[in-house]
Amino acid sequence: MKVKEVLKEGKDLLSEISDAPMLEAEVLLSYLLNLDRAALVARSDEEVDNAVKEKFISLIAKRADGVPLYYILGKKEFMGIEFFINESVLIPRQETETLVEEALKLIGNKAVSVLDVGTGSGCILLSFLYYNKKSRGIGIDISSGAIEVARKNAELLGLSERAKFKEADFRAFRIDERFDIVLSNPPYVRTDEVKQLKGEPEVALSGGKDGLDVYPQLAQFIAEVLKENGTFIVEVDYRSARKVKGIFESAGFRFVKFLKDLSGRNRFIEGVKFEGTKFEGAK
């Protein structure tokens, strides 16, 4: 069978579950053939090995079963860096790049300490440290599977010296160190919307009924672990951005503001810790 025929077969099998079935079929076949998509398309009339075709159909079947494409590929690009991923972690989202870009802009090339709460694949902390060569940081996550993935990424990127990862629930986490900057993309999807996000870990996504469960304790925790004058940036559901801003303001943070994502929505809350920012301990 020719490349274009194999692709057509894959596309037809994905048409029910995907908005871009041809694109996904091309991505999967180019992955198996170790080509980029343009090179694959240029070879439309070449014959595909039977073994490759079978493998392709098995990947297509997985995808048709609802496994997200990037779990099948086992990798996702974020901030121009390739991250290893699996079912234990949220697939890094392009929108989250704005959080890292803002952090890099604020810090410039100063040497700082960074804490990433709910680090998942480690993509936030590791991309920050990849571009700011003088800093170091810690990523914590409640999921042991996530910590394994994050450590593997640190190793693959040669960042294991500057990036440490620890399995911990931030609500029970105690650390003496205070950080210059705290970053977090916590679970904020509303319960009734989690079901639509098939395949990714619920613990990384589910923010309770209104998606806000995590923020009051997160604000307390950040107030405790941030240095005076240190900055936090957290990701939010844009529909709840105002409420989350209020939560951080009531915890005593100052200069609390929205940052927009690439679609122009209030996707992040940033603020500064000042004397008086409450830290009653993470409850």
Handedness of CA 183, 82, 206, 141 (dihedral sign): negative
Of 29 and 214, nearer to ligand GLN (C-beta) is 214
Bridge partner list, 3: none
Angle, vertex CA 108, rays to CA 124 and CA 227, nearest 5: 70
Q: Which position among 185, 231, 240, 277 is part of the footprint of ligand GLN (CB under 6 A)?
A: 185
- Closer CB to ligand GLN, 26 or 237, in the complex: 237
Confirm or reject binding of residue 187 to ligand GLN (CB under 6 A): yes
Q: Measure the CA–CA gap between 249 and 215, rounded to whole angstroms.
A: 12
* Location of structure tokens 């650390």: 175
Nearer to ligand GLN, 200 or 224 (CB): 200
Cα 204–Cα 149–Cα 103 angle in degrees, nearest 5: 70
Residue 184 touching ligand GLN (CB under 6 A): no
Residue 178 binding ligand GLN, by CB under 6 A = no
SS3 content of the chain, % helix, strand, coil (to 5): 45, 20, 35
Stretch that binds ligand GLN, among 122-130, 152-160, 179-187, 249-257 (CB under 6 A): 179-187
Asked if 189 is part of the footprint of ligand GLN (rule: CB under 6 A), the reply reads yes
Task: Say how many C-beta atoms besides its own lie within 10 A of residue 164's C-beta.
Answer: 16
Q: Do residues 167 and 141 touch, judged by C-beta distance below 8 A?
A: yes
In the complex with ligand GLN, the residue whose CB is nearer, 22 or 203, is: 203
Q: How many residues bind ligand GLN (CB under 6 A)?
A: 9
Nearer to ligand GLN, 21 or 187 (CB): 187
> In the complex, what is the shortest distance from the CB of residue 225 to ligand GLN, in angstroms, rounded to a whole number?
19
Q: Does 138 bind ligand GLN (CB under 6 A)?
A: no
Using CB under 6 A as the binding rule, whether residue 92 contacts ligand GLN is answered as: no
Does position 259 bind ligand GLN by CB under 6 A?
A: no
Gap between the Cα atoms of 38 and 49, Å rounded? 19
The 10 Å Cβ neighbour count of residue 152 is 18
Point out which residues bind ligand GLN (CB under 6 A).
Answer: 93, 185-189, 197, 205, 235
